[in-house]
Structure 1
Amino acid sequence: MAATNGTRAGVIGLGAMGLGMATSLLKAGFTVVGFDPADPAREGATDAGVTTVETTDAVFADADVIVLSLPTAQHVQTVVQSALGANLLAQGQVTKIIIDTSTSEAAISRALSAELSAAGHGFLDAPVSGGPAGAASGQLSVMLGGAAQWVQAAMPALEAMAAKIMHVGPSGAGNVAKLVNNMLVANHMVTTLEALRLGEAAGVHAEEMLKVVNAATGRSAISEIHYPNWVLPRSFDSGFSTGLMRKDLRLARELAAEAGVATPVADLAATLWAEGHSGLKDSDDFMLMGDPEVDRLSAKEKN
């Protein structure tokens, strides 16, 4: 469903994901205003046709639907609270809908949703999957948490950005689904690396092992997409950092602890992903964890 001309969208966070979503909104007929604290990000967005502004509050002032693409739940909270403090989300004003595509925290999403709903505005936790390429092509998958009325109202913007839109429950449910998914990704990276190293050591090259795994029941997105595109070509440039993966794995384990659910495999994966064991810095692309030429699984903790 394309947006009508004049529909106003805002994007806060114009990195690889945010810029891709902004350009997808532009293609769908939205006018788009955006903000990012980094000068190069704002310049890139301006070149792409986004009207950039100097503050997050200016985005809220100019847009009816605001997309957030931020590093943490605390960033999301700060941005929304700033708009509330500036009286940009007061009761009786034109309805605004916030679509938070960050990998955030359910408790914070629920609190923000309740506060905004009381003032007549919508908040959806809407973490995404698909990477920068999916964002730029409007082919993301989005996991939605929030009230049905806000999902329906936000649908034109969501359909501009995503090919798969899954409303999985009330506020916070999207965050839960994304953390569970990324916990699996962290685990799959470790188990796929383990399998390929075993195959190599026993005389079957990684490329041949992947052919078997991907034609059989051991396959996953890691083996089918990530290894062929970023690990075996040794480009290691998926656009998702090791630090973000560590953060998501930590949040998933905290969620499990709150829910009273044991996650022994994820607990072990967290140890293996830690910098002291893997040798990877937070700034490294997370695909480096899967390099079958480097033994990150039996590395010893560094003192």
Structure 2
Amino acid sequence: MKENTCVGVIGLGQMGRGMANSLRRAGFEVHGLDASQAAREACAKDGISLADSLAGLLSRAGIVVLSLPNSDIVRSLIEGPQGLADLARPGTLLIDTTTADPAVMRAVMPVLQRAGVALIDAPVSGGPRGAAAGELTMFIGGSQADLARARDVLSALGSKRFHIGDCGAGYIAKLVNNLLVAAHLLTASEAFRIAEAAGVKTGQLLDAINAGSGRSGVTLYNYPSRILNDAFDSGFTMQLMRKDVRLAQGLMQSVELDLPVCTQVAGIWQDSVASLADQEDFNRIVKFDTNRRG
């Protein structure tokens, strides 16, 4: 068996489970690993093979997809005792779909290089539905050689794949993307409050906005499919978006920029902690009263 026909997926939550199923549909032999019994049971019902251990998964899979909550968990998986850097065979290729802290991952990259393990950073957008359908948008950083090797795996996961630059560029691109989403949700919610107060309902206004220059992904997709219908079911939480906004703010500070709009956006998302629980859908930020911050 060619190694590229066997793929490991570490992290079998909503996103990882969807990705594992998309890979299986594309003809790959998939082996999954997750600490959660519930996640393992759900994937087993889908017909996904489960590895008994990290060592077992790495003995089979030459390409491993990571779908984990944050870069600290990724770093622990790589650098910890009997972690990926210790157990992976030289030549193993990691595809990290985590929305990660670029600084943390820069610290990890030399560890992987010493172990002979290649890394592609490919954070994703599209939520659980996109993962399950194999229709994610992927922000990709890595060498041309590694991308060529991962081409079929990436094609199974994402219908829109953008090679941003060298390893690490994908992490930066995804943070910028999510910061824009966070800002657009705030500006759209305040703009629509102006219209409502002046006597024009958001539903009356939305089609015109989306045909005009004021449109954004938030007005095109989030409002019609998640907000106006009160669904709030994107599968992406307030906690995760707050984390991503903090990471974007940290990136801004690391490059010694002081940008007032980005700082204000980050402050509003942080201030929402008191009134919007971590597990609420991130689109509920439109319900947050920005006049009552703090």
| Structure 2 length-normalised TM | 0.93
Specify the alignment match of 1:214 in structure 2.
210
**Are 1:298 and 2:294 an aligned pair?**
no
Contact 2:140 2:169 in 1 (8 A): yes
Match of 1:62 among 55, 60, 63: 60
**Are 1:155 and 2:154 an aligned pair?**
no
Contact 1:277 1:296 in 2 (8 A): no
**AA partner of residue 25 (structure 1):** L
Match of 2:99 among 95, 103, 106: 103
Contact 2:22 2:157 in 1 (8 A): yes
Alignment of 1:72-83 (within 5 A): 72-82=70-80
Give the SS at the match of 2:247: helix
**Are 1:245 and 2:231 an aligned pair?**
no
Output the CA distance in 2 between the equivalents of 1:44 and 1:212. 43
Output the CA distance in 2 between the equivalents of 1:271 and 1:297. 10
**C-alpha deviation, 1:274, in angstroms:** 2.3
**AA partner of residue 88 (structure 1):** L
Change beyond 3 A, Cα 1:191–1:140: same
Output the CA distance in 2 between the equivalents of 1:261 and 1:209. 36
Output the CA distance in 2 between the equivalents of 1:136 and 1:42. 16
Q: Percent same amino acid among aligned pairs?
A: 40
Contact 1:278 1:296 in 2 (8 A): no
Specify the alignment match of 1:36 in structure 2.
34
Specify the alignment match of 2:250 in structure 1.
254
**AA partner of residue 30 (structure 2):** V
Relative to its length, the structure with more helix (as a share) is 2
Output the CA distance in 2 between the equivalents of 1:119 and 1:209. 56
Change beyond 3 A, Cα 1:140–1:29: same
Specify the alignment match of 2:177 in structure 1.
181
Q: CA RMSD in A?
A: 2.0
Q: More displaced, 28-37 or 115-124?
A: 115-124
Give the SS at the match of 2:86: coil
**Structure 2: unaligned runs, 5 residues or longer:** none
CA deviation map 1:107-146 (0-9, x unaligned): 3333333332343321111101111111111111111112
Output the CA distance in 2 between the equivalents of 1:120 and 1:300. 49
**Are 1:87 and 2:86 an aligned pair?**
yes
Match of 2:24 among 19, 23, 26: 26
Specify the alignment match of 1:52 in structure 2.
50
Output the CA distance in 2 between the equivalents of 1:276 and 1:9. 39
**Structure 1: unaligned runs, 5 residues or longer:** none
**AA partner of residue 87 (structure 1):** D
Match of 2:116 among 120, 123, 126: 120
**C-alpha deviation, 1:192, in angstroms:** 0.5
Output the CA distance in 2 between the equivalents of 1:276 and 1:151. 39
Change beyond 3 A, Cα 1:199–1:277: farther
**C-alpha deviation, 1:271, in angstroms:** 2.0
| Structure 1 length-normalised TM | 0.91
Output the CA distance in 2 between the equivalents of 1:186 and 1:288. 11
Output the CA distance in 2 between the equivalents of 1:52 and 1:277. 37
In the alignment of these two chains, the number of paired residues is 293
CA deviation map 1:185-226 (0-9, x unaligned): 110000000011111110111111211211101111111001
Give the SS at the match of 2:174: helix
**C-alpha deviation, 1:85, in angstroms:** 6.6
